[in-house]
Structure 1
């Protein structure tokens, strides 16, 4: 029995993707394999007056085609994408929610910025026109639990629901919480996350960290582990996954299994100036122990890839300390999308599961020359065929959030 209390590791039976690399699992996956970037000039507003003018935007997403019309004015763009991804994931898993007990289905998502675009629009109405112009839905649309609530209501899922607010690490923490619920409080959990902070209000909030890249060349603005690394670019979107107990999946006749959540651990970095080291190394070791495997069993690492010299070096050192220098392939497909906060790690998990499914490791686009001290086998240039069986996904959020998830290729067809 692992630390979650489950005697059998949960299965991922469905995936829904709404990302700068495409809408839908296969559109995203083919873009990743081709190194087709979703990074470009921000078009949601005029970014000319801002130091960051590039981001990963979801192409061709039209809310009225994806979301019931009555929900559009009640919810933010972030929730629109979450609803669409959840719908796609349930369809991908061939789940008929009407056939499952409503109190045995749960929803756990990650959120970082919440409904920033909706909130900005309502604040503009307040300042320009007065309080009477602020809509009633402002009280719920910005709220970080809005997506969880709307997915739960839409699909009649009345089991234990929640939201994890851990910035970039939240997508892994949401899946970790989903794993805890399975077998005890639920048989099926809709989990993952999306984010949408590409509005002036959202971008200014991100600029306050000092971690965003101001390079104007889309091909070189976000290049983690590179000698020219200068920060990261923001992105929107994410992924939603259907996670089930093996017994639950079997009883409803699940048609596919992308992989198994074999291990998970989380930690929190000490405050700046502390003599204690970052927790990433220990968190990796705990996740491997939770999965019952050793470093030599891991076939690929999906890196957090902060894109800052200090952040990249710290991650590379943690990887080398656990696995050995250049000992295991490392990749960071998020250079094609930007860092998506609440949606980023969930999309990394989806991409890792597709890599396990198809026996290929996607490459890291953009990065050309590894920075000194980054002694890792970063997959560059093109995907690498190596039939991975076990993948480790790393995620670190602003202010110290850290999470690690271990995935195992499914033996179920």
Structure 2
């Protein structure tokens, strides 16, 4: 019997080693990892630049309280501010914690109580972020949720136009819904959300936990849409596997988060900041991001070219290396067969195969993955026809 709560549907394989895009299980079987720890290992597994930075910090100091100044925290915050155009950063340990901070900041700053989110969104599994999430399966069994969240249909400008309310503190969204199915927002919808925030004197919160840290080919996915958020949350890919989350905000919000209003024992500690700083210095480099854009455009175009006439495939969607292949059938068996054929992928809902390769994936690895994907999907097409 395991002494770990069964909160995850775990596979029978255990990944025991990895470098770059390739990982090995306990039996020595190798896989191309297009999960990346769910968009965490953006520099691949065991990136040397992060390993060296963490080892250097480990030889000096592991942890201190936030009662003390932490230089690497300031340096990491400067990188985030420069890449985002925002002004201040609160460090924590996860995306859910970053979203908790955003919810608190928005309510305290505006003095209002209601936050609008969207159906099929995902913002975390704490009680507040679970309440913010627009998916019934996340809510089930936990009794009454926090009453201050209201869910709107995503990409629906008509529903958005009908929103009224002086009590709305913020609208919170993902510009590409991840867990909800890899659903990119349309330009007109996202810009309408920002306009609605300004109309209601509410804050715009963008959850970049999965889409940030270069995954879209820009530092943050909202930058594809020329949006001007008040608050941005990020985690996952900024730490290369170290638990790092961050909430970014505009200068006007700084006085609201004064001493004693929020905190985190481990948030921004020296080891985490060493990992985050080294990760972001690499990812936010313009040449690095241009290469991500080149490779992802190539990969998405190849998927579209080779799957466009496949009758079981509905569409290929996403931006950068946050890609979904939507099917007219459930994808559980497809994901299992991809794994058997050497490619790790994951679902986004029941009908979407989600692909999140490391941003450092090579051209050769992309071609290998394409071969596995196309051959596996074509086998399913043949079985459906038969």
Q: TM-score scaled by structure 2?
A: 0.26
**CA radius of gyration, larger in:** 2
